[in-house]
């Protein structure tokens, strides 16, 4: 799974069903410059795109019509283009709130605003917690010391509604 940002320049509707017989009801929208999780594409059927996103009723799975899911809609959010090269990976700043750091499912520390998260540049997210970003390590605010993490993950806060480019916990240079 991949954490993406909608760089299409317009909002994209999300539906309750994958469109084989019906798209169901519209359950929300992914706005321009909003982050979400890309689960995959139904290649054997109609090409519906499965995503996780923050909807009016909270975090949930939904489906986007293939005609709306262009490459710019499925832009990886945490790649080199939107971060800074550091420690053999790509660094992104922690903004607004602290971010918990996990090794597997165990919290090992928190990084406060001003700190940095170092990713592998693939914008990968977890299968059990798709709103957590895969990381290589972190740097605490006010420090330059890099801490490597095995099976590392961090909070993005997408699942609690902090999914817009200017409210997400792990910030990129998206605009």
Contact 134, 151 (CB under 8 A): no
pLDDT at 19: 87
pLDDT at 71: 80
Burial 148-172 (b: 16+ CB within 10 A, else e): ebeebbbbbbbbeebbbbebbbbbb
Residue 29: phi and psi, rounded to 5, are -145, 145
pLDDT at 43: 80
Q: Give the global pTM.
A: 0.96
Burial 1-23 (b: 16+ CB within 10 A, else e): bbbbbbbbeeebebbbebbeeeb
pLDDT at 32: 98
Q: Which CATH class is domain 2-76?
A: mainly beta
pLDDT at 153: 99
Q: Where are the domains of the chain?
A: 2-76, 80-171
Residue 132: phi and psi, rounded to 5, are -95, 140
List average pLDDT for each run of 10 residues in the chain, which is 175 residues long: 98 94 95 98 88 96 95 96 98 97 98 98 97 99 98 98 97 96
pLDDT at 36: 99
DSSP state of 161: T
pLDDT, tens digit, 9 for 90 and up, residues 25-74: 999 999 999 999 999 998 877 899 999 999 999 999 999 999 999 889 99
Strands 89-94 and 170-171 come out as antiparallel
Taking the C-alpha atoms of residue 53 and residue 34, their distance in angstroms, rounded to an integer, is: 9
pLDDT at 44: 75
């Amino acid at each position: 799974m991949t954490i993406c940002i909608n760089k299409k320049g317009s909002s994209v509707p999300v539906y309750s069903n994958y469109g084989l017989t019906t798209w169901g009801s519209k359950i929300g929208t992914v706005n321009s410059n909003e982050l979400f999780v890309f689960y995959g594409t139904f290649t054997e059927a109609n090409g519906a795109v499965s995503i996780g996103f923050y909807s009016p009723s909270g975090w949930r799975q939904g489906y986007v019509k293939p005609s709306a899911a262009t490459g710019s809609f499925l832009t990886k959010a945490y790649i080199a283009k939107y971060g800074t090269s550091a420690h053999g990976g790509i660094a992104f700043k922690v903004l607004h709130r602290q971010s918990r750091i996990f090794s597997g499912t165990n919290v090992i520390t928190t990084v406060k605003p001003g700190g940095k998260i170092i990713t592998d540049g693939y914008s990968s997210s977890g299968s059990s917690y798709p709103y957590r970003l895969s990381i290589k390590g972190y740097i605490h605010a006010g420090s330059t010391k890099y801490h490597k993490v095995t099976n590392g993950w961090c909070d993005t806060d997408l699942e609690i509604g902090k999914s817009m480019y200017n409210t997400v916990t792990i910030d990129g240079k998206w605009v």
